[in-house]
Structure 1
Amino acid sequence: MSDIADIRMQVMWNRLISVVEEQALTLLRTAFSTSVRESGDLSAGVFDPRGRMLAQAVTGTPGHVNTMAEAVAHFMDAIPREEMFEGDTYVTNDPWLGTGHLHDITMVSPSFLNGELVAFFACTAHVVDVGGRGFGADAKSVYEEGIQIPIMKFAERGKVNLDLVRILRANVREPNQVVGDFYSLAACNDVGHRRLVEMMRETELDTLEGLGQFIFSRTHDAMVERLAGLPKGSWSNELVTDGYDAPIKLAAKVTVRENEVEVDFTGTDPMSRYGINTPIIYTKAYACYALKCATAPDIPNNAASLAFYTVTSPVNILNAVRPAPVALRHIFGHMVPDLVLGALAQAMPGKILSEGAGALWNIHISARPANGGEGRRAEVLMFNSGGMGARPGIDGPSATAFPSGVHTMPVEATEHTGPIVVWRKELRPGSGGDGEFRGGLGQIIEIAPMEGHEFDFSAMFDRIHHAPRGRDGGGNGAAGIVRLDDGTLMRPKGWQHVPAGRRLIMELPGGGGFGDPAKRAPEARAADRSKGYLSENDK
Structure 2
Amino acid sequence: MSNVSTVPANNPLAMIHQQIMWDRLISVVEEQAQTLMRTGFSTSTREAGDLSAGVFNTRGEMLAQAVTGTPGHVNSMARAVVHFLDRFPLETMREGDAFITNDPWKGTGHLHDFTVVTPTFRDGRPVALFACTSHVVDIGGRGIGPDGRQVYEEGILIPLMRFADAGTVNETMIEIIRGNVREPIQVIGDLYSLAACNDIGGRRLVAMMQEFQIDDLDGLGAHILERTDLAVKEAIAAIEPGSFTTHMRVDGYDRPIDIHARLTVADDHIEVDFTGTSGPSAFGINVPFCYTEAYTSFGVKCIVAPTVPNNAALLSAIKVTAPPGTILSAEHPLPVATRHITGQLLPDVTFGCLSQARYRDGRPLPVPAEGTSCLWNLFAMGGPGRVDAPPEEVAGAKSFNVMSFHSGGTGARPGKDGLSATAFPSGVRNVPIEITEAGSPIIVLRKEYRTDSGGAGLHRGGLGQVMEVDTLDTAPFAISANYDRVDFPPRGRDGGRDGARGILRLASGTRLRGKGQQTVPKGERLVIEMPGGGGIGDPFLRDPALVAEDVRTGMVSAAAARSDYGVVLRDDLTPDPEATAALRAETRRAPASTSA
Residue 158 (structure 1) aligns with: 167
Give the one of 70, 85, 89 matched to 1:80.
Answer: 89
Write out aligned runs for 1:112-191 (5 A): 112-191=121-200
Alignment check: 8 A CA contact 2:382 2:397 kept:
no
Residue 535 (structure 1) aligns with: 557
Distance 2:495 2:259 in 1: 22
Residue 367 (structure 1) aligns with: 382
Residue 288 (structure 1) aligns with: 297
Alignment check: 8 A CA contact 2:551 2:558 kept:
no
- Secondary structure of the 1:537 match is helix
Give 1:411 deviation, angstroms: 0.3
Residue 358 (structure 1) aligns with: 373
Tell me whether 1:378 sits opposite 2:388 in the alignment: no
Letter in 2 for 1:489: R
Write out aligned runs for 1:367-516 (5 A): 367-368=382-383, 371-516=393-538
- Structure 1 stretches of at least 4 aligned residues deviating more than 4 Å after TM superposition: none
Letter in 1 for 2:353: A
- 1:173-232 deviation per Cα after TM superposition (whole angstroms, max 9, x unaligned): 000000000000000100000000111111111100000011111111111211111110
Distance 1:61 1:6 in 2: 30
Residue 269 (structure 2) aligns with: 260
- Secondary structure of the 2:239 match is coil
Give 1:500 deviation, angstroms: 2.3
Give 1:453 deviation, angstroms: 3.2
Distance 2:455 2:251 in 1: 19
Give 1:339 deviation, angstroms: 0.6
Alignment check: 8 A CA contact 1:47 1:121 kept:
yes
Which segments of 5 or more consecutive residues in structure 2 lack a partner in the other structure? 1-9, 359-363, 385-391, 562-596
Alignment check: 8 A CA contact 1:451 1:501 kept:
no
Give the one of 497, 502, 523 matched to 2:545.
Answer: 523
Tell me whether 1:67 sits opposite 2:76 in the alignment: yes
Distance 2:535 2:90 in 1: 53
Tell me whether 1:40 sits opposite 2:49 in the alignment: yes
Q: Which moved more, 1:42-51 or 1:198-207?
A: 198-207
Give 1:535 deviation, angstroms: 3.1
Write out aligned runs for 1:88-99 (5 A): 88-99=97-108
Alignment check: 8 A CA contact 1:36 1:125 kept:
yes
Distance 1:350 1:63 in 2: 24
Distance 2:96 2:86 in 1: 19
- 1:127-173 deviation per Cα after TM superposition (whole angstroms, max 9, x unaligned): 00000010000000001100000000000111100000100111000
Write out aligned runs for 1:204-243 (5 A): 204-243=213-252
Alignment check: 8 A CA contact 1:350 1:472 kept:
no
Residue 320 (structure 1) aligns with: 330
Give 1:536 deviation, angstroms: 5.2
Distance 1:389 1:35 in 2: 24
Alignment check: 8 A CA contact 2:58 2:90 kept:
no
Distance 1:213 1:65 in 2: 21
Distance 1:266 1:383 in 2: 32
Letter in 2 for 1:171: N
- Secondary structure of the 1:538 match is helix
Alignment check: 8 A CA contact 1:123 1:189 kept:
yes
Give 1:82 deviation, angstroms: 3.5
Alignment check: 8 A CA contact 2:379 2:479 kept:
yes
Give 1:340 deviation, angstroms: 0.9
Alignment check: 8 A CA contact 2:258 2:278 kept:
yes
Distance 1:221 1:165 in 2: 45
Distance 1:332 1:339 in 2: 11
Distance 1:33 1:220 in 2: 37
Alignment check: 8 A CA contact 1:254 1:263 kept:
yes
Distance 2:156 2:558 in 1: 49
TM-score (norm 2): 0.89
- Secondary structure of the 1:74 match is helix
Alignment check: 8 A CA contact 1:451 1:500 kept:
no
Identity of counterpart residues, as a percentage? 55
Distance 1:406 1:530 in 2: 29
Give 1:3 deviation, angstroms: 1.6
Distance 1:21 1:476 in 2: 37
Distance 2:551 2:87 in 1: 59
Write out aligned runs for 1:14-33 (5 A): 14-33=23-42
Which segments of 5 or more consecutive residues in structure 1 lack a partner in the other structure? none
Alignment check: 8 A CA contact 1:282 1:333 kept:
yes
Residue 583 (structure 2) aligns with: none
Alignment check: 8 A CA contact 1:377 1:419 kept:
no
Larger of the two Rg values belongs to structure: 2
Letter in 1 for 2:460: R
Distance 1:81 1:463 in 2: 45
Alignment check: 8 A CA contact 1:271 1:320 kept:
yes
Letter in 1 for 2:19: Q
Alignment check: 8 A CA contact 1:350 1:392 kept:
no
Give 1:377 deviation, angstroms: 1.3
Tell me whether 1:50 sits opposite 2:59 in the alignment: yes
Residue 346 (structure 1) aligns with: 356
Letter in 2 for 1:326: V
Give 1:242 deviation, angstroms: 0.5
Give 1:375 deviation, angstroms: 4.2
Alignment check: 8 A CA contact 2:398 2:473 kept:
no
Alignment check: 8 A CA contact 1:367 1:420 kept:
no
Alignment check: 8 A CA contact 1:279 1:320 kept:
yes
Task: Tell me the C-alpha RMSD between the 2 structures.
Answer: 1.0
Q: Which moved more, 1:41-50 or 1:77-86?
A: 77-86
Give 1:74 deviation, angstroms: 0.5
Alignment check: 8 A CA contact 2:354 2:365 kept:
no
Residue 3 (structure 2) aligns with: none
Write out aligned runs for 1:271-286 (5 A): 271-286=280-295
Distance 1:339 1:223 in 2: 21
Distance 2:229 2:287 in 1: 30
Alignment check: 8 A CA contact 1:137 1:327 kept:
yes
Distance 1:136 1:188 in 2: 29
Residue 203 (structure 1) aligns with: 212
Distance 1:533 1:409 in 2: 22
- 1:517-539 deviation per Cα after TM superposition (whole angstroms, max 9, x unaligned): 11101111111111111135314
Distance 2:21 2:480 in 1: 46
Q: Which moved more, 1:42-51 or 1:224-233?
A: 224-233
Q: How many pairs does the alignment contain?
A: 539
Give 1:372 deviation, angstroms: 3.7
Alignment check: 8 A CA contact 1:470 1:514 kept:
yes
Alignment check: 8 A CA contact 1:367 1:418 kept:
no
Distance 1:6 1:333 in 2: 39
Residue 329 (structure 1) aligns with: 339
Distance 2:286 2:558 in 1: 39
